[in-house]
């Protein structure tokens, strides 16, 4: 009896946790526990805007990237990653956390939609494509400006630390130098004392012989 109850509960749990592929798209999620992934993208990818689907897909890029609502979504080895910049950094994202506009499609279908749209002779001139290209350029410019500000602030902070640490280093060097001088002076005094003691010992021995 108990065995049948557990079996029924297990089957129900599997059905509840595994919606249809049409509702969730890819359902296999592999969680990596290593360091943050690094995808090398040297230049801004070209995108094709899919009017029916409502997002852009990279074309001619080494990685499959979707641009949707000021975020980039990269699909690689059955995993999804998200970033606000095509340069990264990329963070893994669970399939169920993808925007519904994306996860309701299988990626093979997305590739097919992209290829069909890319073959259209007018796709580069339609207003949807131009508007999306302009939004991405503005986003990339803002990110680049932000990165430059962060880098500049880091350099200023580093210079400030060096300036603040310089007096401390000078004081430390002065202390070390003073200690070295004191040690050298102490050695000279001890050497002179030993020399005087040896001289007195010789004189005493000489007086006893007389």
User: Is 63 inside a domain boundary?
Assistant: yes
Helix, strand or coil, per DSSP, at residue 133? helix
Residue 37 lies in a domain: yes
Give mean pLDDT in consecutive 10-residue pieces for the chain, a chain of 210 residues: 43 39 33 58 87 91 92 94 91 94 94 90 69 78 73 78 76 81 81 71 61
Whether 23 is in a domain gets the answer yes
In a domain, 106, yes or no: yes
Structural domain range at position 25: 19-124
- Confidence at residue 195, expressed as pLDDT on a 0 to 100 scale: 74
User: Is residue 93 packed enough to be buried (19+ CB in 10 Å), middle (13-18) or exposed (0-12)?
Assistant: middle
Within a domain: residue 206? no
State the pLDDT at residue 201.
65
Stated pTM of the model: 0.51
**In this structure, is residue 162 part of a structural domain?**
no
Residue 187 belongs to some domain of the structure: no
* Inside any domain, residue 30: yes
Domain count for the chain: 1
């Amino acid at each position: 009896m108990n065995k049948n109850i557990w079996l029924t509960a297990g089957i129900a749990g599997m059905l509840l946790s595994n919606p249809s592929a049409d509702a969730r798209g890819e359902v296999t999620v592999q969680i990596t526990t290593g360091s943050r992934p690094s995808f090398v993208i040297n230049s801004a990818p070209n995108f094709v805007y899919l009017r029916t689907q409502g997002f852009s897909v990279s074309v001619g890029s080494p990685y499959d990237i979707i641009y949707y609502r000021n975020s980039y979504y990269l699909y690689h080895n059955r995993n999804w990653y998200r970033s606000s910049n095509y340069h990264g950094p990329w963070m893994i994202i669970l399939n169920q956390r993808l925007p519904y506009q994306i996860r309701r499609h299988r990626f093979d279908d997305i590739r097919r939609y992209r290829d069909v749209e890319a073959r259209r002779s007018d796709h580069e001139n339609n207003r949807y494509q131009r508007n999306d290209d302009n939004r991405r350029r503005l986003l990339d410019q803002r990110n680049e400006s932000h990165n430059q500000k962060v880098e500049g602030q880091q350099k200023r902070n580093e210079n400030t630390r060096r300036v603040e640490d310089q007096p401390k280093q000078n004081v430390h060097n002065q202390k070390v130098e003073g200690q070295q001088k004191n040690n050298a002076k102490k050695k000279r005094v001890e050497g002179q004392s030993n020399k005087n003691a040896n001289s007195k010992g010789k004189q005493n021995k000489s007086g006893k012989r007389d």
